[in-house]
């Protein structure tokens, strides 16, 4: 499955949670903002809806393929006049200083191999004084009800801790983002976690989204597990298995996204 297809499928799970996070930001009506690392444009459209018909949102991504999907998605939306998309690097934003009223970045800043502090400073550079920076990231999940030990061991594998890496300094972990914001000179810092949930009976879209999510979270971590855990993983985490956990009549799972935000005071934020 292509990256664009995975992102589209995951929207069935993530959409309501991300929508709640955007709503909590209370973005000013008529404001202009940047969706840094916009992917297929799902968040761009949610952001455009939040700022109203007089507002505008620019989506930026390095992937030409994802931007094609984003533009197609926008054309089919009633919000097409409020959004635009362009190719660009979040670490070197192709915009002048003080261009936007706010910047949003989800599953991007803090996830890349690049140091997060320079990225936060770069986001701050393009926001007008008094504007807001917000970054959102996946922070936890419970997807295997009844198998807490196996899920804990899966989470401890290299695939399970991704997009982080073994040996990464603790202060570079996404949940330490308030520290990056503080070092970047942002003020009025805030953090909030939003939970999403899903339970049986599942429609086909939700079932497919969970299959994609389980694969994205843990992939094939068998080499790092005991033989017993590998067998259990194959038994309950593979769609072709008769014991695939998503097929349970009492299936229930939840996941969380954490949002960090701060206010740009003045141009010294970048120093």
Question: How confident is the model over 19-41, as pLDDT tens digits?
Answer: 999 999 999 999 999 999 999 99
DSSP symbols for the chain:
--HHHHHHHHHHHHHHHHHHHHHHH-PPTT-EEEEET-TTSHHHHHHHHHH-TT-EEEEEES-HHHHHHHHHHHHTSTTGGGEEEEE-BTTB-SS-TT-EEEEEEESSTTTSSS-HHHHHHHHHHTEEEEEEEEEEEEEEEE-STT-HHHHHHHHTSHHHHTTS-TT--GGGSGGGHHHHHHHTT-EEEEEEEEEEEEESSPPHHHHHHHHHHHHHHHSS-GGGS-HHHHHHHHHHH-TTSTT-GGG-TT-EEEEEEEEEEEE--SGGGG-
pLDDT of residue 270: 46
Residue 267's pLDDT band (boundaries 50, 70, 90)?
low
Tens of pLDDT, residues 105-138:
999 998 767 789 999 999 999 999 999 999 999 9
Give bridge partners of residue 254 from the DSSP assignment: 142, 197
pLDDT at 6 over 90: no
- CA distance from start to end of the chain: 42
CA distance 6 to 23: 24
Residue 2's pLDDT band (boundaries 50, 70, 90)?
low
Q: Tell me if the domain spanning 3-270 has CATH number 3.40.50.150.
A: yes
Tens of pLDDT, residues 169-196:
889 999 999 999 999 999 999 999 999 9
pLDDT of residue 268: 46
% the chain with pLDDT above 90: 80
Residue 159's pLDDT band (boundaries 50, 70, 90)?
confident
pLDDT of residue 269: 43
pLDDT at 139 over 80: yes
Asked if 73 and 15 touch (Cβ cutoff 8 Å), the reply is no
Among 162, 163, 152, residue whose Cα is nearest residue 233: 152
Mean of the pLDDT values across residues 154-175? 85
Asked if 199 and 252 touch (Cβ cutoff 8 Å), the reply is yes
pLDDT at 271 over 60: no
CA distance 256 to 122: 27
| pTM for this model (two decimals) | 0.92
């Amino acid at each position: 499955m292509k990256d664009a297809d995975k992102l589209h499928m995951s929207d069935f799970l993530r959409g309501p949670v991300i929508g709640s996070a955007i709503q909590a930001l209370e973005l000013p009506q008529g404001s202009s903002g940047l969706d840094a690392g916009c992917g297929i444009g799902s968040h761009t459209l949610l952001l455009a809806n939040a700022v109203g018909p007089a507002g505008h949102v620019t989506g930026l991504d390095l992937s030409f393929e994802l931007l094609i999907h984003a533009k197609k998605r926008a054309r089919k939306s009633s919000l097409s006049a409020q959004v635009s998309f362009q190719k660009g690097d979040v670490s070197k934003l192709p915009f002048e200083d003080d261009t936007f009223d706010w910047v949003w970045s989800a599953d991007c800043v803090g996830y890349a191999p690049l140091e997060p502090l320079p990225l936060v400073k770069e986001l701050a550079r393009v926001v007008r004084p008094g504007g807001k920076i917000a970054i959102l990231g996946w922070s936890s999940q419970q997807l295997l009800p009844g198998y807490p030990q196996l899920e804990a061991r899966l989470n401890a594998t290299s695939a399970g801790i991704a997009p982080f890496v073994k040996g990464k300094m603790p202060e570079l972990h996404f949940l330490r983002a308030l520290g990056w914001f503080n070092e970047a000179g942002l003020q009025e810092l805030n953090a909030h976690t939003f939970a999403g949930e899903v339970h049986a009976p599942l429609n086909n879209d939700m079932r497919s989204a969970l299959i994609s999510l389980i694969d994205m979270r843990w992939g094939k971590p068998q080499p790092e597990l005991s033989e017993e855990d590998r067998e259990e993983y194959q038994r309950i985490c593979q769609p072709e298995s008769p014991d695939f956990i998503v097929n349970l009549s009492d299936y229930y799972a939840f996941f969380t996204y954490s949002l960090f935000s701060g206010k740009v005071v003045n141009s010294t934020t970048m120093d």
